[in-house]
Amino acid sequence: MRCIALGQAWQEKRGRVVFISHCESKKLQERIIDEGFDFIYIENPHPHPADLDKTIETLSTMHYPPSTNDWLVVDGYRFDSMYQKKIKEAGYKLLWIDDYGHAEHYYADIVLNQNVSAEASFYAKREPATRLLLGTRYVLLRREFRQWQGWQREIPATANKILVTLGGGDPENVTLKVVRALKQVGSSGLEAKIVVGPTNPNLHTLQQEVDDNANMQIITNATNMPELMAWADVAVSAGGSTCWEMALLGLPNMIIFFADNQRPIAEKLHADNMALSVGWGSKLTIEDITQSLEKLICTAPLRKIFSINSRNLVDGDGAQRVCQEAM
């Protein structure tokens, strides 16, 4: 999604965008193509050598020798220092999207870490010419979110509208814990919209769980996330890029994290009074989630603080800034 956001911003500057990916989801491939981007499928992803060969072949077919405005953007934890080095040796400009400094050395022209927890120390081992774009000033938000810049949120005394979105897969079915916790919350009149991603294996179980509750709705393949976030009074989300989308709309958020790279984001937002972090999804009980939900739902001053502070964090123009740095 963040690469789509960057691609949209590049398009606005009359650039061409090509996705080279192992993405197996047909719906995501269609989404990419519908944006006006080209899509080239990679059969064997890195570290299989065919990935790098196909990528360099595609780049050379598009434009050889490389132009100063031709960039390869790489986003993914499986990519390593050697991948960066080979791309640079082939003569191409490289923008590397990172979350926590997982590579041993950075050869890229630009390293982008859009997270609130980003630090230059993550990239101490880098080439002298490598530029760092760090922090939420560079958050990559899609154009449908930019339409909500400056929108003003009302904070009700009690939050009644709950949005749940825990990522595309959720193999441990933490979403089910959240749904059951919502049923235990001691507040009447709650409405909940539960967004389930296209790769979630638990859709049938979740649908069965909400069938007896008219105030709960399962939404698959949501295409109107900004509207859903504007509708909600409170959200329960994972600790990834969704946090920045919610920040733009000032949506008070309870974060459940699922991966090592999400933990520092959640904990930093919690420490700075921008969200409520409740811990690892696999370790949380239904009772843990219920107590945290009740705290957020019933405490309007806390939600107001979260809303104001998070709105100051993200302005929605990050993708445009990154494009400007690359031009």
Q: What is the pLDDT of residue 187?
A: 75
Q: Is the pLDDT of residue 169 over 80?
A: no
pLDDT over 70, % of the chain:
98
Q: Does the 2-145+316-326 domain belong in CATH 3.40.1350.10?
A: no
10 Å Cβ neighbour count for 276?
A: 22
Q: What is the pLDDT of residue 223?
A: 84
Q: What is the pLDDT of residue 261?
A: 83
Q: Is the pLDDT of residue 67 over 80?
A: no
Q: What is the pLDDT of residue 276?
A: 96
Alpha-carbon gap, residue 65 to 47, rounded angstroms = 26
Q: Is the pLDDT of residue 95 over 90?
A: yes
Taking residues 290-303, report their average pLDDT. 96
10 Å Cβ neighbour count for 76?
A: 13
φ, ψ for residue 279, nearest 5 deg: 115, -170
> Which is more confident, 303 or 203?
303
pLDDT in tens, 222-256: 889 999 999 999 999 998 889 999 999 999 999 99
> 139-143, 197-201, 248-252: which has the minimum mean pLDDT?
197-201
CB contact burial 215-227 (16+ within 10 A = b; e otherwise):
ebebbeeeeebbe
> Which is more confident, 303 or 101?
303
Q: What is the pLDDT of residue 282?
A: 85
> 117-121, 168-172, 270-274: which has the minimum mean pLDDT?
168-172
**What is the distance in angstroms between the CA of the first residue and the CA of the last residue of the chain?**
22
Taking residues 124-137, report their average pLDDT. 97
173, 234, 276, 280 from 310: Cα distances, Å: 28, 13, 12, 22
Place of tokens 């911003």: 9
pLDDT band at 294 (very low <50, low <70, confident <90, very high): very high
Burial of 119 (0-12, 13-18, 19+ CB in 10 A): middle
6, 7, 71, 80 from 319: Cα distances, Å: 5, 9, 15, 24
Q: Is the Cβ–Cβ distance between 235 and 253 less than 8 Å?
A: yes
Report pTM: 0.89
Taking residues 32-40, report their average pLDDT. 95
- Please state which of the four CATH numbers 3.30.70.100, 3.40.50.300, 3.40.50.2000, 3.90.25.10 is assigned to the domain occupying 147-311: 3.40.50.2000
Domain 2-145+316-326 and domain 147-311, same fold? Reply is yes
Q: What is the pLDDT of residue 296?
A: 96
Q: What is the pLDDT of residue 64?
A: 65
Q: How many residues does the chain have?
A: 327
Question: What does the domain layout of the chain look like in residue ranges?
Answer: 2-145+316-326, 147-311
Place of tokens 């500057």: 13
Average pLDDT in the chain: 92
Q: Please give the structure tokens belonging to residue 131.
A: 């530029």
Q: What is the pLDDT of residue 66?
A: 66
Q: Is the pLDDT of residue 220 over 90?
A: no
* Neighbouring C-alpha atoms within 13 Å toward the C-beta of 283: 7
Cβ within 8 Å of residue 154, ≥6 positions away: none
Q: Is the Cβ–Cβ distance between 257 and 238 less than 8 Å?
A: yes
Q: Is the pLDDT of residue 186 over 80?
A: no
